[in-house]
Amino acid sequence: MNAKRTDGRTKIAVVTGAGSGIGRAVAVELLRTGWSVALAGRRAGALEETAALAAAADRVAGGEDGAAGEALAVRTDVSRPQEVSALFAATVGHFGRVDLLFNNAGTFGPGGVPVEELSYEAWRHVVDTNLNGAFLCAQAAYRQMKEQDPQGGRIINNGSVSAHTPRPLSVAYTATKHALTGLTKSLSLDGRPYRIAVGQIDIGNAATDMTQRMRTGVLQANGETTPEPVMDVADVARTVRHMAELPLEANVQFATVLATTMPYVGRG
């Protein structure tokens, strides 16, 4: 476990989209292993459920009193600049600094809609959440990490295998995930002078509510609809924690974690 900084203090993380899915799994994994975490999401009740799950996981694991980190729930819409600013102000006000941002909040949007039928409003919603929201959170984290003492921190962006290979009828989601890779590379370069490490995890078919349809059948590039395998979301969470707990002198620039037999590598 490496949830302590070199000065012996608990590491502080901000996890967006922490009320469900991958964000919840990562937040629970960090909390139960000693990180303190600001939980960000649009539904306050769901954030409180995440905090309760982390406390329960710590008890099941036999953790000593105080072994788990402290959770701070902050209702946030990452597409709104003022709410992102308020999230980081609340985090720093409560915990004193930010060591990690897991930039996870995202939406697939109206999947299965042909390009010519996709409304601008739907396109804009996906872009505002997946790309603009990621930028706003990264910018706020960057500002804090640059000025805090000791300086630096880590940002991990949640990409997707769609950042490499699109699914049919997913133009908005795929475009934002490709853009997120550019954001990751640029932030990684610009963060070097300030000990800000930036990486990206590209995830394929983790078992969450968002991927439930994979088990019953999803459209393939050849026009067929077939079920796809999924993997335990806890395996994703452990991978993120590994990336997060590296010293700032080391960085996982890109990691791809996917269900072993999903149709991604090769044909079919």
- What does DSSP assign to residue 69? -
Cα angle vertex 208, ends 83, 56, to 5°?
Answer: 80
- Residue 171 — pLDDT band, cuts 50, 70, 90? very high
The predicted model gives 44-64 an average pLDDT of: 79
Question: So what's the pLDDT on residue 141?
Answer: 98
Question: So what's the pLDDT on residue 6?
Answer: 60
For residue 107, give the nearest of 147, 136, 143, 78 by alpha carbon: 78
- Write out pLDDT tens, residues 117-168: 999 999 999 999 999 999 999 999 999 999 999 999 999 999 999 888 888 8
SS3 sequence of 100-154 = EEEECCCCCCCCCCCHHHCCHHHHHHHHHHHHHHHHHHHHHHHHHHHHCCCCCEE
* pTM of the entire predicted model: 0.92
- Write out pLDDT tens, residues 4-37: 666 668 999 999 999 999 999 999 999 999 999 9
Burial group, residue 100, by CB count within 10 angstroms (0-12, 13-18, 19+): buried
Q: What are phi and psi of 75, to 5 degrees?
A: -65, 125
β-partners of residue 44 are none
- Write out pLDDT tens, residues 210-249: 677 777 888 888 888 888 889 999 999 999 999 999 999 9
> Which candidate in 120, 173, 194, 264 is catalytic?
173
142 is catalytic: no
Q: Which of 36-40, 54-58, 132-136, 200-204 has the lowest mean pLDDT?
A: 54-58
**Alpha carbons 221 and 69: distance in angstroms, whole number:** 44
